[in-house]
Structure 1
């Protein structure tokens, strides 16, 4: 049997479907498909907006919910529930429990400051990693590169925002600072923003309106002030930075997911004292893409770029094409990442020990040759 174009079923299917109540928080057809097994169990989807001491706040189709996280607190710190996760929460109960969370599309992870070599997840399902860098203090390009390596590794698109641009009175000086950051951030958009004058906030708002952004940076970078500017209201508490060194106190103490009036959501994070790499080899390679390109032209595929003949990296250094600061920063981050991975990778640990033994033997041989006068 055929149906005419005016049949009720046909006209109903042509009606525009209503957007899901969670669509402003990033809910889409793919998340809905992932959630079907949990929906069959009578659970509600919800996005985690805050985690604190064994409980979390979620936004659900039934409204705000506070739930216990006892079922999603494994021993692995990278598998605990986090701000930005999409979770399956009980529809009723006192207390309610989060029963599971959906597989993450992206995750921003750093190593902890402890000596236990553990990773710490800062935000989940992020599309834009907004790295706030204050122009009120001297630029630390090495720290920018470190943030960028973690951002690329997370799967999010990095964006560097130079805050407090109104404090740089000379346009030529500001342009020079922007060029320095652009050199340290190849392939990454660099914006100058002033929350005081509003400069650049409209551009930033347009970028983060598409998806989920996470705001990262050290204390005093102006993250909370920037978040308030994007929100159009003083939602996040702000404190003055110290005049002596431009550093701030930890105003934000938890990671909070906030809906933006222009669309999209923003995760504001506490200021980070330490930004340790966590298995970020791919991210390091992306930050230093030009060095990786030079390395492909080296004579030896396993060139260490130290003293080998035919090393294209050293040739670029000698010609001035590659700044020495960039190469030193690249080496430093690679060494650090290698150490972190080695603590959890037995095979790599063995390779590093073998390299140490070879270098030690070479050093002893050279010392003996010098003592005896033999080449």
Structure 2
């Protein structure tokens, strides 16, 4: 694979050049791969191994201050012949894809930086899951990049039309691409979404075919791929994030499969715009969308205009977002407060209705 880069062809646009001009003694590069303590960085003279300087490490407050794949960094030199180059500065990110770290931790985990599009890959076999798709979509919208759904392995699905219809119900204008890597041109629809000098990141569960798509776009089997397990799901392949330049001019970041789509610091408005729009028509401003009279959301559910399952998924994500950064005791207290608030809201609504009924007589 070619490791001689022209940075302007790696997304190093004018806004980054202006930031780099404040450090004329340093050399720009883009992080293409990250290991524990070291990074591979693409520079004008090739790909080198680098590490953060002691000053950089000392001044970093949070783990998100450290470089990730896709970041533009400034180095003390353009080669690593005399040891690893030193990363002295990180240029401000224009976008970043982040999720909550898996497990009990509420730590924010960065996945990729300076991306233009997020390709949400879902296979149309047993991996297909609408609730997970809504989570991925929320991650994508909150990154600052444009989401695109990519349905993979369409050649093995017997329910493609049904699954496509389900996805269209939650996508709200987000493009949906159908791909496979079996047919000769099964992946070419992706190319128009990977424009010259733009960066796209592929996300999805383990084994949905991300690495196969990257290999097809690169024109060779650069990444290892695995077949299907006995349950029809793909095997985990990619173990770390990598950035690639493809011959058509775009830049791809491949990521490991996501087992747990934890949301952190999220805004749900783009993903659930239909629910937010409905809430504007509720009778009471503090409507909890439970049993209050005049609830536009419950009315839409009863009429079949809104899926009860979709509203349930929205409430689940909303609660998850509201508990971010709280300890277990505080979370339990907030759950109790929410329960009693709902009861209070219902009592208040009934009281208001009684007053209105009295005035009508």
CA contact (8 A) 1:206 1:262 kept: no
CA distance in 2, matches of 1:337, 1:58: 34
Match in the other structure for 1:111: 100
Which residue matches 1:10? none
Q: Counterpart in 1 of 2:316?
A: 332
Structure 1 residues 293, 59: CA separation in 2 closer, same or farther (over 3 Å shift)? same
Q: CA RMSD in A?
A: 2.5
Tell me, in whole angstroms, the C-alpha distance in 1 between the residues paired with 2:169 and 2:339: 37
Question: Shift of the alpha carbon at 1:206?
Answer: 1.5
> Does the 8 Å CA contact 1:44/1:61 hold for their aligned counterparts?
no
1:187 positional shift: 2.0
Structure 1 pair 198–296 and aligned structure 2 pair: CA distance change class (3 A): farther
Matched, 1:23 2:12: no
**Match for 1:33 among 2, 11, 18?**
18
Question: Is the Cα–Cα contact under 8 Å of residues 118 and 148 in structure 2 kept in the other structure?
Answer: yes
Cα shift at 1:219: 0.6
User: CA distance change for structure 1 residues 342 and 300 in 2, over 3 Å: closer, same or farther?
Assistant: farther
Superposition TM-score, scaled by structure 2 size: 0.86
Residue in 2 that maps onto 1:61: 44
For residues 349 and 176 of structure 1, the distance between their equivalents in structure 2, rounded to whole angstroms, comes to 38
Change (3 A) 1:209 1:198: farther
Mapped pair 1:295 → 2:279: yes
Separation in structure 1 between the aligned mates of residue 314 and residue 279 of structure 2, nearest angstrom: 12
CA distance in 2, matches of 1:316, 1:234: 49
| SS at structure 2 position matched to 1:37 | coil
- After TM superposition, the score normalised by the length of structure 1 is 0.83
Cross-structure match for 1:14: none
Q: Which residue of 1 aligns with 2:152?
A: 163
How do 1:198-347 and structure 2 match up within 5 A?
A: 198-210=184-196, 211-249=198-236, 251-280=237-266, 282=267, 284-342=268-326
Alignment-derived partner of residue 52 in structure 1: 35
Contact 2:127 2:208 in 1 (8 A): no
Q: Residues of 2 paired with 1:231 and 1:259: CA distance?
A: 8
1:3 matched residue in structure 2: none
The Cα shift of 1:302 comes to 2.4
1: distance between equivalents of 2:271 and 2:204? 17
Instruction: Give unpaired runs (5+ residues) of structure 1.
Output: 1-19, 366-375
Matched residue, 1:355: 337
* Structure 2: stretches of 5+ with no match in the other structure: 348-361
When structure 1 is superposed on structure 2, of 86-95 and 260-269 the one drifting more is 86-95
8 Å contact from structure 1 (residues 57, 65) kept in 2 = yes
- Report the Cα offset of residue 269 of structure 1: 0.4
Q: Give the superposition deviation at 1:323.
A: 1.0
- SS of 1:139's partner is coil
Name the structure 2 match of 1:368: none
- Count of residues in Structure 1 that have an aligned counterpart in Structure 2: 334
Q: 1:216 to 1:323 in 2, by over 3 A?
A: same
Between the aligned partners of 1:119 and 1:155, the Cα distance in structure 2 is: 16
Can you list the C-alpha shifts for 1:346-371, whole angstroms capped at 9, x where unaligned? xx979937825845997xx9xxxxxx
Preserved contact between residue 131 and residue 215 of structure 1 (Cα < 8 Å): yes
